[in-house]
Amino acid sequence: SGNLCRCTGYRPILDACKTFCKESLCCQRKANGKCCLDQEDYLFDKEEKVSTSLFSTDEFQPLDPTQELIFPPELMRMAENQPKRTLFFHGERMTWISPVSLDELLDLKAAHPKAPLVVGNTCVGPEMKFKGVFHPIVIAPARILDLNVVKYTDDGLTVGAACSLSLVNDILTNAISEFPEEKTKIFCAVLQQLRTLGGEQIRNVAVCCGNIVSRKSTSDLNPILAASNCMLRGKRQIPLSDIFADGVGNNTITPEEILVSVHIPYSRKGEYVSAFRQAPRRENALPITNAGMRVLFEEGTDIIKDLSIFYGGAVLTTTSAKQTCWTLTGRHWNEQMLDEACRLVLKEVTLPGSASGEKVDYKKTLLVSFFYRFFLEVLQSLKKMDPCHYPGIPVEYGSVLQDFQTKMPWSIQIFQAKPNQSPQDPVGRPVMHQSGIKHATGEAVYVDDLPSLDGELFLAVVTSSRAHAKIVSIDTSEALKGPGVFDIITAQDVPHTNEFYYSSDPEIVFARNKVICVGQIVCAVVADSDVHAKQAAAKVKIEYEVLEPVILTIEEAIKHNSFFEPKRKLEQGDVDQAFETVDNIIEGEICIGGQEHFYMETQSVLVVPKGEDKEMDVYVSTQHPAFIQEMVAASLGVPANRIMCHVKRVGGAFGGKILKAGLLASVAAVAANKTSRAVRLILSRGDDMLITGGRHPFVGKYKV
């Protein structure tokens, strides 16, 4: 969880982790009751050896926990003996404050009501990075003991606002094992959402109360916490459901107030609670729609005494279907109630005209699907309580109640073991990558790991925000005033060729008068640091005049009769005549989305002027060094032998580090030529995906 691997799959990571685990009593290699190694002989070549592992544990040092590196005792003693004090970290533009008491925090919040409170930084951080939101003061309350309290009371569990989701997960898991099932139904529902919320690393730092205060509709916790009548506690108590009473999440908590803890109540006899979510993936994916539902029956009956339904994901913020709940109170839990509930929910919970991510009809279906599953879950529980009185669930509906089960993965590895194979022939053998150890230990040096050079500058690109437009003006005045800014590089600074023809369409170094796509490089900023360069790049103002047509999809290209030439055609026989004589014709359309190469190392280049004859060393992550050399030389107007291209290793490429790598190397080389300084360009993930190409989307029409 949280480990990304783009090329090898996850086997090396899993195999490495397994070396720290005890051998399982189960072989975990049985499939359908039969081991894969017991299959028919013809599955494997007689000369092949089947191995369950490519390493021998006998080669490892014995695992002895007592010999693990320990945290330096002197630092532990210093931490214990030193009185806690408020910490201030001052940067060029912002101040980070970490108080140690609730009173200090309240004073800070009163003095700086707009300053966000940050513990895990999973909400504020992305807003600052991707949306350009700036906070001159940030307050980090994680060290305040009052916000880390965990306390059991007569009516539930109180969890401090700074407790991580992982800690809450452990607390609820322990509570479920200690308390009777009747009291822990809310805990179970919250735990169900916690297990798929983000990834392990996110849950280790993110906090429950951050979800509440941010009021994000994508929070998987808010619907179930609100439906469960959880209480927010500070100097006063507020029912969590009140925050979302107005439908936009603006109620109740004022900017000066601090959420100290959240109280999760025990469930009661005759009370049933469930949480639901539907997302593109099980983990590390925002929900398409989520929900939290709770029902309390009159004692010994199926008459609804209290009902709570909250939805999130598809709506602007966590939303209560309170009208539906009021209408259904007093009704029996039966199919007539179900039919009316579905009708009322669709009427009350309105999705925005263009719901987030579209899929409006699908999201409407999920709203009633979640309640339908809740209805069946409760009906099944009532049936267990009184088998004679309540109907059983039809067999064909049983799958609705089945939870997703993660199976233990198993694997085999097959490689050749031929005695007559030449020692110099590596094909088919389990040979480790030459730099494998360096990759695993972090010692492998990539472009961005190269040490900084004296006087080195950092480059940030300014890209087009229009798909097809004329450049009216470029205003760099504000950018040039930024701290550490050295210069602005444009098409006017290219000594020779601004357009390089590798095929029929040119690679344009800098857009000059017109842009042809979003993400096309218009100019670049060089500064004394990467941060200063990016800050200045954001201040460059470009005025556009939009040109028609703007073609963004294949369907729009077909509409405007915009096709690549020459048209390619494969034809055999008289197709039209054949269709006239057949019994059946099947025709339709298939659409496949585009793909990003998503290499782990983004596009990276370091250009170092040699000081004579415009010679340059270009350190670059590329699959095609010769093309880099050729394009940089063409841009600078020098012979190719004056450009030395260095490629030590590439942190993933998959076909994505050829043409655009040459383009970016030329941008950096033009900057290095103008400034006579070494220039480093390391694209952020967002800029990389914006500027580079990918595997294209596809639309196919077929007739069979």
Sheet containing 156-160: order of strands:
150-153, 156-160, 261-265, 231-233, 237-239
Each residue's pLDDT tens digit, 281-331: 887 788 999 999 999 999 989 999 999 999 998 788 889 999 999 999 999
Q: Across residues 624-653, what is the average pLDDT?
A: 96
Give the pLDDT confidence score for residue 32 in this predicted structure.
Answer: 38
Dihedral sign, Cα of residue 6, residue 8, residue 11, residue 17: negative
User: What is the distance of C-alpha 523 from the center of its chain?
Assistant: 29
Q: Which two tokens stand for residue 179?
A: 């308390």
Which pLDDT belongs to residue 54? 62
**Bridge-based pairing state of the strands 304-312 and 261-265:** unpaired
Cα–Cα distance between 72 and 77 in angstroms, integer? 9
| Average pLDDT of span 458-484 | 97
Give first-to-last CA distance, the chain, whole Å: 44
Q: What is the DSSP letter of 537?
A: H
pLDDT at residue 626, as a whole number: 96
Q: Of 83-97, 258-272, 425-439, which gets the smallest average pLDDT? A: 425-439
Lowest mean pLDDT among 350-364, 368-382, 646-660: 350-364
Among 128-132, 228-232, 476-480, the least confident range:
128-132
C-beta contacts of 358-363 below 8 A and 24+ residues apart: 359/288, 362/288, 363/288, 363/289, 363/313, 363/314
- What's the rounded Cα separation, in Å, for the pair 551 and 549? 6
Query: What's the pLDDT at 125?
Result: 86
Q: Average pLDDT of 531-547?
A: 96
Q: CA angle 470-474-480, nearest 5°?
A: 160
> Tell me, what's the pLDDT at 111?
92
pLDDT score for 9: 67
**What is the spatial distance between Cα 616 and Cα 645, in angstroms, rounded to a whole number?**
8
- The fraction of the chain above a pLDDT of 90, given in percent, is 62
Residues pairing with 262 in the sheet: 159, 232
pLDDT of residue 78: 86
Cα 374 to Cα 680: distance, rounded to the nearest angstrom = 56
Give yes or no for residue 355 having a pLDDT over 50.
no
The CATH class of the 447-551+597-691 domain is alpha beta
**Exposed / middle / buried, residue 222 (Cβ in 10 Å: 0-12, 13-18, 19+):** buried
Q: Where are the domains of the chain?
A: 84-139, 145-401, 447-551+597-691
CATH class for domain 145-401? alpha beta
Q: Specify the pLDDT at position 703.
A: 95
Nearest-angstrom CA–CA distance, 267 and 228: 8
Enumerate residues 6+ apart whose C-beta is below 8 A from 102: 144, 146, 147, 258, 260
Domain 84-139: give its CATH code.
3.30.43.10
Q: Are 474 and 522 in contact (CB under 8 A)?
A: yes
Other Cβ atoms less than 10 A from the Cβ of 53: the count is: 13
Alpha-carbon distance 312 to 288, whole Å? 9
Position 60 pLDDT exceeds 50? yes
Could you give the CA distance from residue 105 to residue 531 in angstroms, rounded to a whole number? 30
Query: Average of pLDDT values for 30-48?
Result: 45
Mean pLDDT of 571-587: 93
Contact in structure between 466 and 515 (CB atoms under 8 Å):
yes
Angle at 83 between CA 82 and CA 89, to 5 degrees: 90
pTM confidence score: 0.81
Give helix 625-636 / helix 659-675 axis angle, nearest 10°: 40
Q: Give residues with Cβ within 8 angstroms of 23, minimum separation 6.
A: none
Res 36: pLDDT: 44
Pairing type for strands 587-592 and 698-703 reads antiparallel
Q: Parallel, antiparallel, or unpaired for β 457-463 and 679-682? A: parallel
Nearest to 264 by CA among 374, 402, 153, 117: 153
Higher pLDDT, 693 or 251: 693
